[in-house]
A and B are shown apart, each in its own frame.
Chain A
Amino acid sequence: MRIMQNSGVPIYQQIAGQFREDILTGKYKHGEFLPSIRSLAKDLRISVITTIKAYEELEKQGLVTAVQGKGYYVNAQDSEMLKEQHMRKMEEHLLNAISAAKIAGISNSELIDVLKMLIETEDDSH
């Protein structure tokens, strides 16, 4: 886990973001407990309250559930939510492609052709 001190993003959000990714990509499985708040604080060399806030953020997003005295375990992940997650990522990359095409003066139809071609070669290689 990488934490940036001066990135402008609060540290608790950085931690929550990385756990979120790990949970959604299946690194943490349903029912598995996240590291305890105090051991995570020790390992990351941050204060306990910061890790609590990160876990509370994950709880708010419905990714984990708190059990008094035991810690936080990972919820069963909704497949719709996972899809939504990947959808957003895909859109982000496509938007990047569109703006790159615009800068280079590539027309929309050319862009679509390239996309089709890439999909075909990708499918062939599988």
Chain B
Amino acid sequence: MYVTSVINIHDLSKKFKSFELDIPSLNIPKGFSTALIGENGAGKSTFINILAGIRLDYKGKIDYFNGEKDEEKIREDTGYTGPGSYFMPHWNISQIAEASTLLFDNFNKEKFFEICSTMGIKLSGVESFSKFSDGMKMKVILANVFARETKMLLLDEPASPLDPLMRERLCEMLREYLDEGNGEKSILFSTHNIADMESVTDYAIIMERGKVVEQGFVEDLKEKYILVKGDINDADKAGSILFSFQKNGYGFEGLCLADDIERLAELDISKEIPSLSQISLAVMKKYTYLSEENL
């Protein structure tokens, strides 16, 4: 499979008092949806903010769209959503539409109204943005970004405030976006709701303590790690081999690196394909800064 990238990152670093983001090299694949996974404080938002041009106080080099130099163009082609205040609190839907039309050449007002109504947001209301619930706010923010003709979406925790129905709708919108782009449109989103978003995740980047600790196409990760389960009498033997390991009074389970699976040959185990959540959790536990007792 031939894959090009939409963003190339070289020697990216950002130092804080007690935390350092440090990414020597990373490529975000073009034409795919990439999930950024990691615990609170792992550096996901800092990273997305840097990519979106919200934070400029970093060291390193970031290349967009295969060497595009025109910053104006990069901004037009990129859609960003994040938590926090986004629109002026007193704006209503039509004022948001007016402002977005002024901000972006590629903003399609009709499309914005259309997406809003499919999401159940009343267009005629005079209610201001600040009165909306968190879920409603996110819907408006998403409608706003999908109403623009862009080539890349950078979405910081888009699923968190949404209910299960809307999360599914979001997944559909992301897939439609990729389909429309036919290989030219890319998505990077961060999430804690790995299970809900797995069906729209092609590439996963797992971050811990400011570093990328695992990455790959999901199908490849599912071959790299194997979920094994076995009886309690084999637990100690397996524990020394497995990548992640958990036991209870009756048996054990954990992830085994495919490279190590031969070493379990003599044990009576069952093998399964792990989900992306199971892989992410095991990797996060391996690199977390929480101590063992606190897990």
Contact = CB atoms under 8 A, between A and B. Distances in A.
B272 interface: yes
A46 B198 CA distance: 8
A53 B219 contact: yes
A2 to B, nearest CB: 16
B171 A45 contact: yes
Interface residues of B, number: 26
Contacts of A76: none
Interface stretch (B16-24, B132-140, B174-182, B245-253): B174-182
Contacts of B198: 47
B33 interface: yes
Contact of A39 (B31, B172, B179): B179
Contact of A49 (B171, B183, B217): B217
Nearest to A55: B1
A55 B32 CA distance: 16
Contacts of A53: 219
Given A47-B200, A49-B203, A8 B175 contact: no
Contacts of B175: 38, 41-42, 45, 48
Given A47-B199, A49-B217, A41 B222 contact: no
A41 B178 contact: yes
Interface string B159-191: 000000000000110011011011100000000
B199 A12 contact: no
A69 B171 CA distance: 25
Contacts of B179: 36, 38-39, 41-42
Contacts of A52: 1
> How many interface residues does chain A have, given as a range?
10 to 19
Contacts, number: 54
A85 B188 CA distance: 43
B201 interface: yes
A56 B217 CA distance: 14
Nearest to B35: A47
A10 interface: yes
Contacts of A77: none
A46 B273 CA distance: 16
B202 interface: yes
B201 to A, nearest CB: 6
Interface in B69-126: none
B218 interface: yes
Contacts of A48: 31-33, 175, 178, 202
Nearest to B200: A47
A75 interface: no
A62 to B, nearest CB: 18
B199 A49 contact: no
Interface string A47-86: 1111011001000000000001100000000000000000
B278 to A, nearest CB: 13
Contacts of B32: 48-49
Contact of B218 (A39, A45, A49): A49
A1 to B, nearest CB: 15
B172 to A, nearest CB: 8
Contacts of B217: 49
A53 B181 CA distance: 19
28 contacts: A8-B272, A10-B219, A10-B222, A10-B273, A38-B181, A38-B182, A41-B175, A41-B178, A42-B172, A42-B175, A45-B172, A45-B175, A45-B199, A46-B199, A47-B33, A47-B199, A47-B200, A47-B201, A47-B218, A48-B32, A48-B33, A48-B175, A48-B178, A49-B32, A49-B203, A49-B218, A50-B219, A69-B183
